[in-house]
C-alpha cells in the first residue's frame, strides 16, 4: 500500500544498491518497508523541529527516536487529512513536551542530592551562533505562537496547513504569527539594548 | 541594521541548520532494532495539537470528559467485573472536603474528620481539613493540563479494565498534586479501580461517602463495589458506561489512553 505523505519514488520498491568490493556479510541491506521510508524522508524535518521546540543536544537523538517510534507504531491513525509533515510535527511537539516534563522531574529528584550540576554545552561546531540564539528566542514565546512561527517562518507551511495541524481557523494562525513576530522583535531589541549597555 | 533585518538573518541561519551526516544512519539502526524488539512507544496523542484553549472551557470539557461534574445525573452506575488479581492494593485516601472548584461545600471542612490513611508514609497524602480556593494564578493552564492528563489516563485504563495501571496514574497524581483540583475525582477513581481490581470492598465506598457526603458519586461507588459479585443470571453492568469518553474515542482533550510505562498494549 502506498504510504501517504511520501514521495512517489519512496513508495516504490527501491532498487538494490550494488556494493562492489564489499564482502557479502558486510553489505548494508537496501532500504525497505514503510518505516524506513518514513524515517529517511522525514528525519531531517523531525530533527530540526525537535531542536526548535526545546531539545538540547544531549537528548535530541532520543527525542527523534521516540518520535519515529510513535509515528511508525501509529501510522494507521494517520488519516491523510493533513500532510504527513504536519502530523509528524504534532507528534514531535508532544514527544518533546513529554520528555521535557520527565527530565524536569528527574532533575528535581536528582537535585535533592546533588546541589550543582554542570551546564550542558551544545555542539557549537554543528550550528551557527545565530541559529542557536534564534532557538533561545523561540523558547521565550508562548507555545501557540512558537508553533505557528516555526511552521510558517522556518518550515514554509501555509496558514491553511497550520490551521489543520492546530485545528484552529486560519485567521487565528495569522494573528498568532503576527503576535509572534512582534514578540520576537521586542525581545531582540531588548537583548540588543542590554548588550549595548554592557559594552559601553 | 533594523530589527526586521536581524530577524531575517536569524531565520536564515536556522533554516540552514542540518543534522550531522551520520545522525540519520545511526538513528535508523537504533530505530530498526527497537521496532524489531517491539519496544513500546511513548504514550502520546497523534491528533491535531490543541494549544491555547481557554481555561474555563477546559474545565467544562474536563468535567464532561470525566463524567464527574455537575451531579453526573446522566451517568449509569459502575460495577467492576472481572476480578483481576490484586497486584498491589493502594488504600484510598479521601480528602476531607470536596474540590472547591468542582463542588464547593463550605460546611464539609468542619463536619468531617478525614479517615486515617493506611498508605506507606511516602504515599500518604496529608488530609486537608480546610480547603480554600487557590488563587487564580495557581491554576495555571500547564498545571491543569498535567492534572487532567493523569486523571484521564487513569480513567482510560479503568475503562480498559487495567485497574493496576489506573492506580499507578492515580498514585502519580497524588504525588504530584496532593492538593490538586481533581482530588475528588482521584479518590472516586481510586475506589473504582480497587473494586475492579478486586476483591470488591464496600468499605472503600463507605469511606468515600463519609468524606464526601454531598458528592453525587457516593451512591454510584457504593453500588459499584457492592455489585462487583453479580447475582447468578444477572447481567453485569458495563464499567465502561460510567465514564463517557469523547466522541473520538480518546481521553479528555484528545489525549492518549496509554499505559504508564510500556506495559500491556491495547
What domains lie within chain A, and their CATH numbers? 32-119 (1.10.1740.10), 128-200 (1.10.10.10)
Residue A119, C-beta contacts closer than 8 angstroms, at least 6 positions apart: none
Grid coordinates belonging to B19: 543534522
Q: How far apart are CA A134 and CA B10, in angstroms?
A: 6
pTM given for the model: 0.48
Q: Is A113 exposed, middle or buried (0-12, 13-18, 19+ CB in 10 A)?
A: exposed
Burial class (CB in 10 A: 0-12, 13-18, 19+), B127: middle
Cα–Cα dist A172/A186, whole Å: 21
- Structural domain boundaries in chain B: 3-36, 55-254
Q: Which of residues 74-93 of A touch B (CB under 8 A)?
A: 74, 77-78, 82, 87, 90-91, 93
Is the CB of residue B256 less than 8 Å from the CB of residue B44? yes
pLDDT of A177 reads 94
Distance between CA atoms of residues B93 and B211, nearest Å = 10
Residue position matching grid coordinates 514531535: A92
Q: Which residues of B touch A61 (CB under 8 A)?
A: 23, 26-27, 30
Q: What b/e readout covers A69-103, taking b as 16+ CB neighbours within 10 angstroms? A: bbbbbbbeebeeebbbbbbbbbbbbbbbbbbbeee
Distance CA(B150)–CA(B190), nearest Å, equals 13
Kindly report the nearest CA distance between residue A130 and chain B, in angstroms: 5
Give the single-character DSSP code of B250. S
One DSSP character per residue, A34-65 reads: HHHHHHHHHHHHHHHHHHHTT--HHHHHHHHH
ipTM: 0.73
Cβ–Cβ below 8 Å for A130 and B30: no
Sheet strands (E) in B104-230: none
Question: Is B247 in CB contact (< 8 Å) with chain A?
Answer: no
Contact between residue A5 and residue A84 where contact means Cβ atoms under 8 Å apart:
yes
Compute the nearest-CA separation of A117 from chain B (Å): 24
Please report, in tens digits, the pLDDT of each residue of chain B (266 residues total): 678 888 888 898 899 888 888 889 999 999 999 888 888 888 888 877 777 654 444 555 555 555 554 444 333 333 333 333 333 333 334 333 333 333 333 333 333 333 333 434 434 333 343 344 444 544 566 677 778 888 888 888 888 777 887 888 888 888 888 778 788 888 888 888 888 877 778 888 888 888 777 777 777 788 778 765 444 434 334 443 344 433 343 333 333 334 344 333 33
A contacts of B6 (beta carbons < 8 Å): 188, 192
**Residue partners of B237: CB distance under 8 A and separation at least 6:** B76, B77, B78, B79, B227
Amino acid at each position: 500500500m502506498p504510504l501517504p505523505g511520501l514521495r512517489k519514488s519512496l513508495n516504490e520498491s527501491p532498487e538494490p544498491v550494488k556494493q562492489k568490493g564489499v564482502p557479502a556479510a558486510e553489505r548494508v541491506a537496501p532500504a525497505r518497508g514503510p518505516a524506513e521510508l518514513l524515517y529517511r524522508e522525514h528525519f531531517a524535518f523531525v530533527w530540526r523541529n525537535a531542536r526548535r521546540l526545546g531539545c538540547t543536544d544531549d537528548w535530541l537523538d532520543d527525542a527523534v527516536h521516540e518520535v519515529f517510534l510513535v509515528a511508525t507504531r501509529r501510522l494507521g491513525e494517520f488519516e491523510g487529512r493533513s500532510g504527513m509533515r504536519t502530523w509528524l510535527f504534532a507528534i514531535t511537539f508532544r514527544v518533546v513536551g513529554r520528555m521535557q516534563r520527565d527530565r524536569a522531574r528527574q532533575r528535581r529528584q536528582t537535585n535533592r542530592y546533588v546541589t550543582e550540576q554542570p551546564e550542558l554545552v551544545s555542539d557549537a561546531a554543528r550550528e551557527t551562533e545565530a541559529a542557536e540564539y534564534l532557538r533561545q528566542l523561540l523558547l521565550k514565546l508562548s507555545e501557540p505562537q512558537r508553533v505557528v512561527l516555526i511552521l510558517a517562518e522556518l518550515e514554509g507551511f501555509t496558514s491553511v496547513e497550520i490551521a489543520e495541524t492546530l485545528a484552529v481557523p486560519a485567521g487565528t494562525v495569522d494573528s498568532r504569527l503576527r503576535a509572534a513576530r512582534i514578540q520576537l522583535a521586542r525581545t531582540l531589541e531588548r537583548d540588543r539594548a542590554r548588550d549595548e549597555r554592557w559594552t559601553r | 541594521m533594523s530589527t526586521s533585518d536581524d530577524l531575517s538573518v536569524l531565520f536564515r541561519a536556522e533554516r540552514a541548520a542540518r543534522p550531522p551526516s551520520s545522525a540519520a544512519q545511526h538513528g535508523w539502526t537504533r530505530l530498526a532494532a527497537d521496532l524489531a524488539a517491539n519496544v513500546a512507544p511513548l504514550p502520546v496523542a497523534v491528533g491535531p495539537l490543541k494549544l491555547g484553549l481557554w481555561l474555563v472551557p477546559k474545565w467544562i470539557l474536563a468535567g464532561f470528559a470525566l463524567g464527574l461534574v455537575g451531579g453526573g445525573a446522566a451517568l449509569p452506575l459502575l460495577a467492576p467485573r472481572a476480578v483481576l488479581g490484586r497486584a498491589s492494593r493502594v488504600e484510598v485516601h479521601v480528602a476531607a472536603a470536596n474540590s472547591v472548584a468542582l463542588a464547593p461545600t463550605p460546611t464539609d471542612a468542619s463536619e468531617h474528620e478525614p479517615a486515617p490513611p493506611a498508605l506507606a508514609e511516602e504515599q500518604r497524602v496529608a488530609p486537608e481539613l480546610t480547603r480554600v480556593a487557590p488563587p487564580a494564578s495557581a491554576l495555571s493552564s500547564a498545571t491543569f493540563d498535567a492534572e487532567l492528563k493523569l486523571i484521564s489516563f487513569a480513567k482510560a485504563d479503568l475503562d480498559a479494565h487495567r485497574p493496576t495501571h489506573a492506580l499507578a496514574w492515580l498514585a502519580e497524581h497524588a504525588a504530584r498534586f496532593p492538593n490538586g483540583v481533581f482530588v475528588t475525582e482521584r479518590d472516586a477513581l481510586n475506589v473504582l479501580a480497587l473494586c475492579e481490581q478486586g476483591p470488591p470492598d464496600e468499605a472503600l465506598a463507605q469511606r468515600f461517602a463519609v468524606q464526601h457526603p454531598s458528592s453525587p458519586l457516593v451512591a454510584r461507588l457504593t453500588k459499584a463495589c457492592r455489585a462487583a459479585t453479580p447475582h447468578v443470571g444477572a447481567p453485569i453492568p458495563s464499567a465502561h458506561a460510567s465514564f463517557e469518553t469523547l466522541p473520538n474515542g480518546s481521553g479528555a482533550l484528545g489525549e492518549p489512553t496509554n499505559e504508564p510505562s510500556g506495559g500491556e498494549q491495547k
